[in-house]
Amino acid sequence: MLDQLGLLIAQTILISIPLILAALGGVFSERAGVVNIALEGVLLTGAFAAAVIGHASGSFVVGILGGVGAGMLVSLIHVALAVGAGVNQIVSGLAINLLVAGATEYGSKSYWPANASRSIPEIPYYRWSGIELVDTLSGRPLVLITALTIVVVTFVLGRTVLGLRIHAVGESPQACETRGLSVMGLRALAVVTSGALAGLGGAWLAFNVGQFQHGMSAGKGYIAMAAVVFGRWRPLGATLACLVFGGSEALAAALERWHVPVPSELVSTLPYVLTIVAMAGFVGRARPPAALGVAHQRA
């Protein structure tokens, strides 16, 4: 029983990693007042770039860096459209998602014609204790990187001058401008940081599966956005929400293993139901950044 519980917890953590990284990016972006629905496209781009670059270089480190860099590049498009040109942020994000979906499918078929082998380097898995749960938490580099990222993002947004300025830009960009702060610069930094985190999450998707698959983000970017709201635009809250989403998927798989006569599809809907209930209830009373989704025009 304990082994099964440990396996369930381990799978929850592994499934939640890309959600957590994307959600942390979403918190960064939305705290600065920019809605980043493009997280879905950034995750997919990060996965594609990590797979291609990792396959070409033979190095998982280079592949991960490629995924992060690709996520930042895609986010620069969102910056140019939503922050620079003042395009509606939701329209910009959806356009990027559609563009990336087509581009990565075409790129995948071009790079791996006729569904040739898509094998990419494996991320090393270190076994320290022989206990599955402990090894999952400490033996996979990206798990440790994700844990460190949670701490860093929480500290930056809550305890630094930069974090204070990002909060201020999301609340009152006009007031920030009168104080001499670059509203567009801070928003661009937040969105690009968001892209780097989501790109890292995409790299995990590719390396965890061992290949790139078209559409492998499977709505995880949108789920991450829901987690941002569920977590009240706070890093720790968004992380816990992602664990709920990941836990439901892990539980659905566990029920099939245990031959429990409960439809796994029903269990998989749990986080969505919780999100609806939360948004209609106590989370609905949480106040988002006042300037969220509002394009800033220089005076």
* Mean pLDDT, the chain cut into blocks of 10 residues (299 residues total): 74 92 96 93 96 92 96 96 91 95 91 70 77 72 92 95 94 89 94 97 91 87 89 92 86 75 72 66 69 70
pLDDT of residue 124: 81
Distant-in-sequence, close-in-space partners of 151: CB < 8 Å, separation ≥ 6: none
Class at the top of the CATH hierarchy for domain 2-113+138-285:
mainly alpha
Distant-in-sequence, close-in-space partners of 59: CB < 8 Å, separation ≥ 6: 121
CB atoms within 10 A of CB 142: 21
pLDDT of residue 69: 97
pLDDT of residue 271: 65
pLDDT of residue 214: 86
Please report the sign of the dihedral spanned by the C-alpha atoms of residue 257, residue 6, residue 145, residue 248: positive
277 alpha carbon, distance to own chain's centre: 23
Distance, in Å, from the CA atom of 220 to the CA atom of 204, rounded to the nearest integer, reads 13
Tokens standing for residue 215: 């559409």
pLDDT of residue 256: 72
Residues written for the chain? 299
Residue 34 DSSP code: -
pLDDT of residue 53: 94
Distant-in-sequence, close-in-space partners of 33: CB < 8 Å, separation ≥ 6: 169, 170, 171, 173, 187, 289, 291, 292, 293, 294, 296
